Amino acid sequence: MVVISPKSILILLLTVGVPHWARSLLQNSINTTTPNGSKTILKAAPRTHKIPPAHSLPTREKPPNSPMAASSLLSLVFVFSLSFSASSSSSVAPNPETTILTIPLSPFSSKNASSDPIKTLNSLAYASLSRALHLKRLKSDTPLAKTHILPHSYGDYSISLSFGTPPQTIPFILDTGSSLVWFPCTSRYLCSNCDFPNLYPGKIPKFIPRLSSSSKILGCKNPKCTWIAGSDVQSRCQDCNPASQNCSQGCPPYMLQYGSGLTAGLLLSETLDFSKKTFPDFIVGCSIFSTRQPAGIAGFGRGPESLPSQLGVSKFSYCLLSRRFDDTRESSDLVLYSGSSSAKTPGLSYTPFRKNPVTNNTAYREYYYVTLRKVMVGDKTAKIPYKYLVPGADGHGGTIVDSGSTFTFMERPAFEAVAKEFEIQMANYSRAVDIEARSGLKPCFNIFNQKKVNIPELTFRFKGGAKLALPVVNYFAFAGNFSVVCLTIITDNSSGLGSTGGPAIIFGNFQQQNFYVEYDLENERLGFRPQNCKN
């Protein structure tokens, strides 16, 4: 997560406007009940805050001490904080009974898809780069659950989860690059710059806390508040008696940045409902304001606030449908497993997760790092410097797997090594320089009137002998009425945004399509195999 400066927040608020309804928002829309049935009361906003940071990963840094500007600015967004009998129970892991949950991914309402494939590729390339730069900033099994995963025109995959009593079902973007689970919250939720193809901002599904009898604002003294607000938050619970564990003050509001977007809100304790199994006291973000975030996020990272961590999941798996950059009713499965087993799933190639040597950066601890040994283009090894394949003592470098990024990102030297091999081996095809400029992708090749197109195979080789040979549709995309093909790996060479350390290679969901991917958390390994993901 990256810390956003007070000046940046001010610019943001001046750009999008401050909602005039903010003061009465929770009073009218979040009639949250406390354990003893009392109603929440509107109160002044907390003066302390954490600004945690897709495509991107959160980093957590302590905000400046007592900044008047930051406090006032947050009060503009959060002119509410609720005085109530706050939830202060300790974190309790679910029973480790062996269970399976299967979750479906559901699409959003879609009416206005873009008909320009080059514009679509450019939008996805820019979003992937924005997320990459965000992620790089300092900062015997049976399934427990199973849900469907759906692809969307703006480059992400979503699942549907049900929260509250009675349950309210909301779509969430599946994101292994961040940890907090949050949803658009209250009927007055505002999303700025959310005019994505196939998505109307007014149609974004929202969670309504006042309709749930199990909604509670997370208390400042609750140990789970430290997951987002930091280990020192309890010393900053200004309205609490230091000698008492009971406190009516809420956990400070959060502001998370995701690449070119952000979201802000309060933490709730809610019930997560999987029809046959419920999980009370699940910590979820109630966001009332977002920019460029068309849906809630289901954080599947390695932080304690992630969905797998809160449910005590031993492993989870997904299979991402092949992309056509449209919204579709077709879906595949996300499966959550509990129980203990060292057995490997048949047919999978495994590579171990690795730790980043920098342990004081929250984001680095949350990412799924793997050891990439080499990248092959055809039968040639791309000459990628070793420091980009493995994180160094400063934490920079290495490869992470991220379902929230669309196109794979590589630092410029790594990208140029791969792109150069394609340019050499595809020298018989002329470069489509105009399409490169318009799409944000390179290299692009003209294939018009070609009866047969020879594209070298792209293979990633990992520690442990695991080999990931991609089908061509996972690393080349058509542009220009099928007369041009472009490599769907990106770098920051023409954006001007600049790279800031962090992971050197971010393996995105476009390259994972039609692969069964397993995150074995208990045994610290990633498994995969090619598979037709259509149900």
Q: Are 484 and 447 in contact (CB under 8 A)?
A: yes
pLDDT of residue 322: 77
Calculate the average pLDDT of the chain. 76
Q: What is the pLDDT of residue 25?
A: 43
Residue-level pLDDT at 500: 59
pLDDT over threshold 60, residue 498: no
Report the pLDDT value the prediction gives residue 114, as an integer from 0 to 100: 53
- Is residue 186 predicted with pLDDT exceeding 70? yes
At 530 the pLDDT is 96
Q: What is the pLDDT at residue 415?
A: 96
- Give the model confidence (pLDDT) of 132-158 as tens digits: 666 666 554 445 555 555 544 445 788
| Percent above pLDDT 90 for the chain | 48
Residues 6+ apart with CB under 8 A from 202: none
Pick the more confident residue, 330 or 33.
330
Beta bridge partners of 382: none
Q: What is the average per-residue pLDDT within 78-82? A: 34
**What sign does the CA torsion over 189, 297, 268, 170 have?**
positive
Q: What is the pLDDT of residues 384-425, one digit of tens each?
A: 999 999 999 999 999 999 998 889 999 999 999 999 999 999
Look at residue 74 in the predicted model and tell me its pLDDT: 37
Say which range, 37-46, 264-273, 288-297, 522-531, has the weakest mean pLDDT.
Answer: 37-46
Helices 68-77/6-16 angle, 10° precision:
30
Domains of the chain and any CATH numbers? 100-338 (2.40.70.10), 349-530 (2.40.70.10)
pLDDT digits (tens, 9 = 90+) for 200-216: 556 789 999 999 999 99
Residue range 172-185: mean pLDDT, rounded: 94
By mean pLDDT, which of 3-17, 107-121, 176-190, 431-445 is the weakest?
A: 3-17
Query: What DSSP string describes 256-316?
Result: EEETTEEEEEEEEEEEEE-SS-EEEEEEEEEEEEEES--SEEEE-SSSTTSHHHHHT-SEE
Contact 236, 252 (CB under 8 A): yes
Please say if the pLDDT value at position 353 is more than 50.
Answer: yes
Q: Taking the CA of residue 338 as centre, how many other CA atoms within 13 Å lie in the half-sphere pointing to its CB?
A: 19
Instruction: Please give the sequence-ordered ranges of beta strands (E in DSSP) within 371-415, or none if there are none.
Output: 372-377, 380-381, 399-401, 408-410
* CA–CA separation, 4 and 174 (whole Å): 24
Model confidence over 50-67: pLDDT tens digits? 323 333 333 333 333 333
pLDDT value at position 418? Answer: 98
